[in-house]
Structure 1
Amino acid sequence: MTDTASSATATPAAQERPPRIRWVLVAFLLIGGIVNYLDRSTLSVANTTIAEEFGLGPVEMGLLLSAFAWPYAIANLPAGYLVDRFGPKWMFAAASAAWSLVGMVTAAAQSFGALYALRVALGVTEAPFFTAALSVNQRWFGRSERALPVALVNTGSQVANAIAPPLLTFLMLTMSWRGMFLVVGALGVVVALVWLRIYRDPTLREQAAIHAEEALAAGPVVPDTAKVGWGTLLRRPNTWFMVLGAFGIFYTVWVYLTWLPSYLQTSLGFSLEESGWLAALPFLCGVVGVLFGGWLSGRLIGAGVSTVLARKIPIVGGAVLAAAAVLPAAFVTHVPSVIALLSLGYFAAQVPIGCLWTLAADIAPAHQVASLGAIQNFGGFVGAAVAPVVTGAILAATGGSYTWVFVVGGALLLLGALSYGAFVRDRS
């Protein structure tokens, strides 16, 4: 009697159209991603001004600029657990409020030590954003449709990378670097308050409509907090190969983020103003790359390709294409060709990004989605933290030549492609 009644009520629910609010949430997460990355970019834009005001040399500025990545990578690990434990509504709001407070307090910093400590704090407080976004996506989108919304959220970082130099420079010139930190920090507070107002988890009927047969068979997708743990994840080969693959791909992405302007000026001879505009070109291509990866994955699933394979094709194909563009850049001397290769390389390196997060949602149990995404992102940001240091060491050892910078970046992209392509499998 109970089973019959349950089946009778579940069938109409499964036939309902998923509510529009889920796309509102995606749009707002995109905005949140832009604000998140603008907060990260403030120091990069203001570095010469801050160095002059505090009397900092290049070594101290290098330490300051790298202070974000290590704590961010490490903090991703507990952040994923906390998102699975407490849910994306409160974790995203708390993180946004916390990183905004850190940014605004930075405006009052009076010493190198204070700046460094606040930069570390920024890395810790920003860590829950993408894991919370992944959890939202897993709750509101089925496996066959979640690649595009994940890609849309990930374009926020690329949009921010492209608009940060002109926007933040304008703010800094009109209200000083301290005023710039205050304004960008205040944006995050607004994001937190609006998120608390608009976010809700899907109802049981909405879960049935979103997840269809999966939801009817498995029950609610709301995490079972009693089961949240990493033991099973860390015993799976998938987890470690995803960490290794993300390391290889993120490494080269962060070579772009940290050294591209310097390369344009010192190796290609562009002025500071010219390099600022040229540096935006690869990042604009990156926006297209993230969206293309999500679109391609969705089309592959629609054509009958298995879900995990449909994620791996853009990941592996994008990494291989990026390597094919980055490696020749080490030896090409024709400047327009170099710019074209760098733009193609960054486009291709961003094709996997949204699919990496979606793959974590596809492979992990529902109650461990944010945890697996966080562990994978940890591996990626270890690569991000290592990239500026290794690049600086290569330049110091070679007298400023970028040849080996591109060779190492290309090789690690191929390592990432191999890790995902050959060793990450659907073992569910």
Structure 2
Amino acid sequence: MSAVASPRRTAKTSNPRRIRWIFVALLVIGGIVNYLDRSTLSIGNSTIAEEFDLSATQMGLLLSAFSWPYAIANLPAGYLVDKFGAKKMFAFASGAWSLVGMVTAAANSFGLLYALRVALGVAESPFFTAGLKVNERWFSAKERAFPIALVNTGSQIANALAPPLLTFLLLTMSWRGMFIVVGALGIIVMLIWLRIYRDPTLREEHILKGDDSADASADEIAEQLDEATTAEADTVVEGAEKVGWGTLFTKPNTYFMIIGAFGIFYTVWVYLTWLPSYIETDLGFSLQETGWLAALPFLMGVLGVLTGGWFSGVLIRRGSPAIVARKVPIVGGAVLAAASVFPTAYLDNVPLIIALLSLGYFFSQVPIGCLWTLASDVAPSEQVASLGAIQNFGGFIGAALAPVVTGWLVDTTGNFNSVFLVGAILLIVGAISYGFFVKDRSREAH
């Protein structure tokens, strides 16, 4: 046996329960920057449309240019995260999306803007699957609902920050300067991630699981590491086969999770892409006022994600099966979001409309963290990121359609009334799909 210690053997193993929360914090920060990057076009909607002389339908196409490639790229992204690990794939993603964002500042035509938004969608696709993989490695099934929900708050914090922050950058630096500043933040995130993140060592895995072997001597740990390394070498071919995601498409749960995510994400992305424009054009507020008003629903979204993760954890501690504990917030949140959004189509009271839209976004975010946790409950460990990515693929088909359909409806009807009706209907579709058709099928015959 070589006297040189392996990297795994010399890695720090102290306080794994503390260090994992540092990684969660990094993912939250990454999520904030990630969604600020996505939000730049939504905030610059009216300004960019005026500069390039775009109709609402054309702007809808541009706003959806991110989501189509993002949805499709999620399929290989999940596989790549399972294969190469969260550290490499998150670093690649954050570096790539930041560069694309900064290059967008130089766009001088609709076609180039569209192409760069497509590239942005591909670049950002590994982010949430990498976050799911990190949580799967560092938290047990009973613990991970809250940290996954916490990671998802990053996007909601960004959505709340984006209207006032990006509007300020837009007004002081132009929309091009806004893109450059947000892109630079992503480069910083990438460098910090590469410096700090690592997967747990074997001993840390024992400690996190609460095994007695966590107190083993250094020699015993070294022996376990050697055995684990040998076992890994013997099963490389078998492990590589398991990582593939093709078999997931033979499972009924996969399809119903796709449909369910489609219904919920559709309405979420109506908010993300058209809310500032709706407040400015339909409700009659100035650009500066819109920046602050548009933040209200997204602040509620932060609370919504945390509420969903917290409530799921409560159900787990009270003895509910894991899948049930995820489905209750998912279904309940979608139904209540639909009930909040639907009346806005028939109201003229502006404060009440803002209140209902804020409530609707709160409830639409209650399911989000639980959707990702559900993927980790349903899939085998080696396919967690893959199933999460496939589900996200379904969600972002809805996200891609939402801006286009919204733009077409606004051009056709002259208002947003039918937009919210369609969103409410699809939220109910999502609730039904998760509530009645996603089940624990682990005992079914293969």
Tell me, in whole angstroms, the C-alpha distance in 1 between the residues paired with 2:110 and 2:421.
34
Residue 381 of structure 2 corresponds to residue 383 of structure 1 = no
Partner amino acid, structure 1, of 2:261: A
Residue 44 of structure 2 corresponds to residue 46 of structure 1 = yes
User: What percent identity do the matched residue pairs reach?
Assistant: 72
Tell me, in whole angstroms, the C-alpha distance in 1 between the residues paired with 2:375 and 2:88.
21
Tell me, in whole angstroms, the C-alpha distance in 2 between the residues paired with 1:282 and 1:30.
19
Report matched runs for 1:201-212 at 5 Å.
201-211=199-209
Q: Is the 8 A contact 2:102 2:183 kept in 1?
A: yes
Cα displacement (A) at 1:373: 0.3
In structure 1, the residue matched to 2:425 is: 411
Q: Is the 8 A contact 1:225 1:367 kept in 2?
A: no
Q: Is the 8 A contact 2:64 2:402 kept in 1?
A: no
Report matched runs for 1:200-349 at 5 Å.
200-211=198-209, 224-349=239-364
Q: Is the 8 A contact 1:88 1:135 kept in 2?
A: yes
Partner amino acid, structure 2, of 1:113: G
Q: Check 1:175–1:328 CA distance in 2 against 1; reply closer, same or farther (3 A cut).
A: closer
Residue 146 of structure 2 corresponds to residue 132 of structure 1 = no
Cα displacement (A) at 1:232: 2.0
Residue 414 of structure 2 corresponds to residue 399 of structure 1 = yes
One of 80, 85, 88 as aligned partner of 1:87: 85
Partner amino acid, structure 2, of 1:236: K
Q: Which runs of 5+ in 2 are unaligned?
A: 1-13, 215-227
In structure 1, the residue matched to 2:375 is: 360
**1:19 is paired with a residue of what secondary structure?**
helix
Q: Check 1:59–1:229 CA distance in 2 against 1; reply closer, same or farther (3 A cut).
A: same
Report matched runs for 1:14-53 at 5 Å.
18-53=16-51
Q: Check 1:93–1:185 CA distance in 2 against 1; reply closer, same or farther (3 A cut).
A: same
Tell me, in whole angstroms, the C-alpha distance in 2 between the residues paired with 1:263 and 1:382.
22
Cα displacement (A) at 1:17: 7.2
Cα displacement (A) at 1:127: 0.5
Q: Check 1:18–1:301 CA distance in 2 against 1; reply closer, same or farther (3 A cut).
A: farther
Q: Is the 8 A contact 2:59 2:407 kept in 1?
A: no
Q: Is the 8 A contact 2:95 2:186 kept in 1?
A: yes
Normalised to the residue count of structure 1, the TM-score between the two structures is: 0.90
Tell me, in whole angstroms, the C-alpha distance in 2 between the residues paired with 1:57 and 1:399.
12
Tell me, in whole angstroms, the C-alpha distance in 2 between the residues paired with 1:399 and 1:52.
18
**1:270 is paired with a residue of what secondary structure?**
coil
Residue 439 of structure 2 corresponds to residue 425 of structure 1 = yes
Q: Check 1:19–1:376 CA distance in 2 against 1; reply closer, same or farther (3 A cut).
A: same
Cα displacement (A) at 1:182: 1.9
Q: CA RMSD in A?
A: 2.3
The superposition leaves residues 70-124 of structure 1 with CA deviations (integer Å, 9 ceiling, x where unpaired) of 1111111110110011010000001111111111222233333222211110110
The superposition leaves residues 199-250 of structure 1 with CA deviations (integer Å, 9 ceiling, x where unpaired) of 111112222233458x99xx99x99334211232101000000000000000
Q: Check 1:364–1:379 CA distance in 2 against 1; reply closer, same or farther (3 A cut).
A: same
Q: Is the 8 A contact 1:84 1:225 kept in 2?
A: no
Partner amino acid, structure 2, of 1:177: W
Larger CA deviation: 307-316 vs 270-279: 270-279
One of 107, 118, 121 as aligned partner of 1:120: 118
Tell me, in whole angstroms, the C-alpha distance in 2 between the residues paired with 1:261 and 1:172.
14
Larger CA deviation: 339-348 vs 23-32: 339-348
In structure 2, the residue matched to 1:65 is: 63
- Give the paired residue count: 409
Q: Check 1:91–1:248 CA distance in 2 against 1; reply closer, same or farther (3 A cut).
A: same
Tell me, in whole angstroms, the C-alpha distance in 1 between the residues paired with 2:55 and 2:343.
34
**1:394 is paired with a residue of what secondary structure?**
helix
Q: Check 1:117–1:399 CA distance in 2 against 1; reply closer, same or farther (3 A cut).
A: closer
Tell me, in whole angstroms, the C-alpha distance in 2 between the residues paired with 1:336 and 1:56.
30
In structure 2, the residue matched to 1:6 is: none
**1:20 is paired with a residue of what secondary structure?**
helix
Q: Check 1:243–1:191 CA distance in 2 against 1; reply closer, same or farther (3 A cut).
A: same
Partner amino acid, structure 2, of 1:280: A
Larger CA deviation: 241-250 vs 338-347: 338-347
The superposition leaves residues 36-85 of structure 1 with CA deviations (integer Å, 9 ceiling, x where unpaired) of 01111222223444444445555543332221111111111110110011
Partner amino acid, structure 2, of 1:130: F
Larger CA deviation: 65-74 vs 75-84: 65-74
**1:160 is paired with a residue of what secondary structure?**
helix
Report matched runs for 1:171-190 at 5 Å.
171-190=169-188
Q: Which runs of 5+ in 1 are unaligned?
A: 1-15
Q: Check 1:132–1:255 CA distance in 2 against 1; reply closer, same or farther (3 A cut).
A: same
**2:319 is paired with a residue of what secondary structure?**
coil
In structure 2, the residue matched to 1:4 is: none
In structure 1, the residue matched to 2:196 is: 198
Larger CA deviation: 129-138 vs 329-338: 329-338
